[in-house]
Structure 1
Amino acid sequence: MSPERFEELVGEALDEVPVALLSLMNNVVFLVEDRPEDGSDDLLGLYEGTALTERGWDYAGTLPDRITIYRLPTLKVCDSEDDVVEEVAITVVHEIAHHFGIDDQRLHDLGWG
């Protein structure tokens, strides 16, 4: 799958997130990369930043949080474009949840592994 098509799918996944939820997100940017910097192929997405639940009165003037979705690892675990659509949607929700302070264990408990 081309990088352009993958980016389209990430955009479509973001379009499915309720506007009310997206409007609560603050100082965050979404990126698509081929793979993590360390070259690993088992990480599908990554949230880097300070979760909303951890921001205090002194949170100001910082660079945006980053949510990165990794193309090649995602393609590796998927057999079809339909699988990619589903996996991208799950990964986007998973990383957005981290922005709201929800940890991996709670996400797994909720079925968003």
Structure 2
Amino acid sequence: MDEQAARNWIAPTPAQMAAMARRVLATIPEPFAAHLADVVLIVDEFADDETLASFGMTDPFELTGLYHGRPLGDKSVWESGAMPDRIHLYRQPLLAEWCETGVTLGDLIRHVVIHEVGHHFGLSDDDMHALEDAAGE
């Protein structure tokens, strides 16, 4: 999705949103970037009911993204057969936040992706903000 489409409030398809998120992942600096190659990026319309319930949520618009996996620091070299770590973006909640806040969709996606990457590394919220600043535009 190009910036012109974003300025004209044209909602991206799931594939376009995934491409936007991949561009964000490409801005993550080393040494973090080396540990993201196996993380799967998934764009769904909404989180499923089970996921929402696990966070005590009933409104599917409350959740814009989620990291599924174990933080790198909690993993062992002896583990095998585990599902790959995944970052889920929830398209409809992101689109709703975009419309409600006026923040650019690219900035929202960037914020959510970097936040979920932070969970992959077991980072604190302060560390996630530093990573977001280091990733640049």
Aligned residues: 108
Return the TM-score normalized by structure 2: 0.67
More helix by share: 2
CA drift at 1:57: 4.2
Cα root mean square deviation, aligned: 2.3
Partner of 2:42: 31
| Structure with higher RCO (Cα < 8 A, 6+ apart) | 1
CA displacement 1:83-105 (0-9 Å, x = unmatched): 11001001111001101112xxx
Gaps of 5+ in 2: 1-10, 50-58, 130-137
* SS in structure 2 at match of 1:50: coil
Partner of 2:83: 63
- Residue 49 of structure 1: which of 36, 44, 69 is its match? 69
Q: Structure 2: which amino acid aligns with 1:56?
A: S
Q: Is it true that 1:84 corresponds to 2:105 in the alignment? A: yes
CA drift at 1:17: 1.7
Return the TM-score normalized by structure 1: 0.80
Partner of 2:20: 9
Gaps of 5+ in 1: none
Percent sequence identity over aligned pairs: 27
Q: Structure 2: which amino acid aligns with 1:2?
A: P
CA displacement 1:14-66 (0-9 Å, x = unmatched): 22222542212364211111110127111111011111111124322212011
Question: Using the alignment, how far apart are the partners of 2:127 and 2:82 within structure 1?
Answer: 31
